[in-house]
Amino acid sequence: MWPITWAADDNLYAGAGDNLGSSMNFWRIEGLPPGKLSLVDDMPVDIQQYCRIPPADPRMGIKSAGLRIIDKSR
């Protein structure tokens, strides 16, 4: 699952899980295809804290379900 949102900087932002050996990541997608994919934040998540039944592999199991861009300048 890759929830995606469009931001005021005209880029797309997406949350992803189970990749790069981390439980969750946040990505920027710039330009038209093929475009450029950049890691914005590799968000370590404490699986023990958020999962009632932790997965066998601690790098798996957490996925973003949605994104929202908030304009902090207002």
- Tens-place pLDDT, residues 38-57: 988 876 666 666 666 666 66
For residues 40 and 13, is the Cβ–Cβ distance under 8 A? yes
Segments making up each domain of the chain, as ranges: 1-69
Give the pLDDT confidence score for residue 47 in this predicted structure: 62
For residues 4 and 66, is the Cβ–Cβ distance under 8 A? no
Q: How far is CA 22 from CA 18, 29, 38, 46, in A?
A: 6, 19, 15, 11
Give the pLDDT confidence score for residue 2 in this predicted structure: 75
pLDDT < 70 positions in the chain: 1, 18-23, 43-62, 73-74
Q: How far apart are CA 47 and CA 70, in angstroms?
A: 26
0.95 surpassed by pTM: no
Q: How far apart are CA 48 and CA 5, in angstroms?
A: 28
